[in-house]
Structure 1
């Protein structure tokens, strides 16, 4: 990923979302060549010279301080995830001039025996472990049953983004498929900022961009998001509609991996159907993702 272009595109798309009134500036009218704020207006609210901001938006991040990042984030009304993403992009751009700083700890490719044992013990809830590229690294039995359409008959590692954009079954499986597409791209975009030299991630983005027009469009929006908690509404081919809450936790002992635990509201139809799925899974051969 070209970090200079990423900085430029991210800042441009963020200021396009704002109006002068939203940042407390008067709008003196006149035709605007581009939607949203002008560069000069961003610079004014951020407390810096217009030339300095223009240089930053062109992708020149040399010597940019935390105070500058904070000022730009405040001016563009970035949320916490967007602020972190801008910081990552600028850090990566500066590291690009020093190749020895580019290396990051390798992303775990498979679950350790201890991790697999732990998630297998969580037998009453589906558990799904993924890396930052959204590859399926491990599941427990119920997790594999829940995501069978993504995991079965796929050469490992199965990948959530490939499933959503390249497998027609995803549009039936995810009842809110369009929202899921935006979420997936925003998560991958945030990871691209953290790991711009991850070759496997670049290859994945390139593949999806080539094969999916929707992915290309969403990728160009430069939206970023974290995947921490929420609701998954799915239509399982065996037990029907499920509404599952999820909690996603980074694993300190397995750097780069995230464990997602799904649960159903007690006494709900989803809980009954999840128990039915567990009964079905208990009679099937064990085949955890790896």
Structure 2
């Protein structure tokens, strides 16, 4: 993949969102049973968004230059975009509304400040790590190194969760209990990152590598789905301590744009809490590598 073209991203994203909405869902009458397009017609989207057909056609061809926030909001409403999809649309639009052409956001960093590593090391009872929007693992505490030992087994640094998910599928399916959901979310979050920063050369290289080597990734990437990093639940099968059902909190770091701090916890007295205690003992054994 030579580049991520924002114009193509806009075109494919809008077409994919339009194709999934039926007239009934949009509150429009469906005249006749033989529609030649999947989902809404362009003129129907234009009607719902309150713009001319020509204006919408120009947007769907990849040009959002001069499009106001109000029009984008109306378009998001017409297409029933969720929060992540709306944010993605606005990210794409910002690439064209900046003076002098598309904006170049600073590429996601691959290092963390020593003070952030100290923060991680101060979290002693829960796995915690810092990653960027490309899924590069940039820093971990002791428990996170033990928890994610299958991911960190890759000798390349920084290790990358997306590569593990798509290029080591057998190991990933063993490690992630909900592998299908994880694979879907990883691709969706990478596309979200591509909307924020389409000029990130390392991201372009990563997407190109995954597209070349994984049929599953190609399908997930082509879906145009996007997703925000959110708190939630992650179910893992660790090779040393077995099943862990973890609560996950992901937090953006205001002083380090593009970096996420993720912490894994479990309620006291649960099997998973006991598993984390066992994980700490396993990680402390002589000969266990904190990779």
Task: Give the TM-score band, short-chain normalised.
Answer: over 0.9
Query: Which residue of structure 2 aligns with residue 197 of structure 1?
Result: 199
TM-score normalized by structure 1? 0.95
Matches within 5 A, 1:32-111: 32-95=35-98, 98=100, 102-111=103-112
| Unmatched 5+ stretches in structure 1 | none
Please tell me whether the aligned partners of residues 187 and 225 of structure 1 are also in contact (alpha carbons under 8 angstroms).
Answer: yes
Structure 1 residue 113 displacement after superposition: 1.1
C-alpha RMSD of the superposition: 1.6
Q: Distance in 2 between matches of 1:288 and 1:72?
A: 49
Q: Distance in 2 between matches of 1:257 and 1:286?
A: 28
Q: Distance in 2 between matches of 1:193 and 1:152?
A: 30
**Partner secondary structure for residue 169 of structure 1:** helix
Structure 1 residue 276 displacement after superposition: 0.2
Query: Which residue of structure 2 aligns with residue 115 of structure 1?
Result: 116
Between 186-195 and 245-254, the greater mean CA deviation after superposition: 245-254
Matches within 5 A, 1:127-206: 127-167=128-168, 168-206=170-208
| Partner deviation per Cα, 1:35-78 (whole Å, 9 max, x = no partner) | 11111111111111111101100112121111110110010011
Structure 1 residue 267 displacement after superposition: 1.1
| Partner deviation per Cα, 1:164-197 (whole Å, 9 max, x = no partner) | 0001200110011011000000100101000011
| Unmatched 5+ stretches in structure 2 | none
TM-score normalized by structure 2? 0.94
Q: Distance in 2 between matches of 1:43 and 1:228?
A: 32
Q: Distance in 2 between matches of 1:232 and 1:186?
A: 17
Distance 1:251 1:288, change over 3 A: farther
Structure 1 residue 30 displacement after superposition: 3.8
Q: Distance in 2 between matches of 1:69 and 1:242?
A: 42
Distance 1:31 1:271, change over 3 A: same
Please tell me whether the aligned partners of residues 139 and 288 of structure 1 are also in contact (alpha carbons under 8 angstroms).
Answer: no
**Partner secondary structure for residue 249 of structure 2:** strand
Query: Which residue of structure 2 aligns with residue 16 of structure 1?
Result: 19
Please tell me whether the aligned partners of residues 141 and 287 of structure 1 are also in contact (alpha carbons under 8 angstroms).
Answer: no
Between 172-181 and 104-113, the greater mean CA deviation after superposition: 104-113
**Partner secondary structure for residue 261 of structure 1:** strand
| Partner deviation per Cα, 1:99-155 (whole Å, 9 max, x = no partner) | 5x6332342211211111111010100002101111000000000100000002421
Aligned residues: 287
Q: Distance in 1 between matches of 2:224 and 2:144?
A: 31
Q: Distance in 2 between matches of 1:195 and 1:210?
A: 21
Distance 1:244 1:120, change over 3 A: same
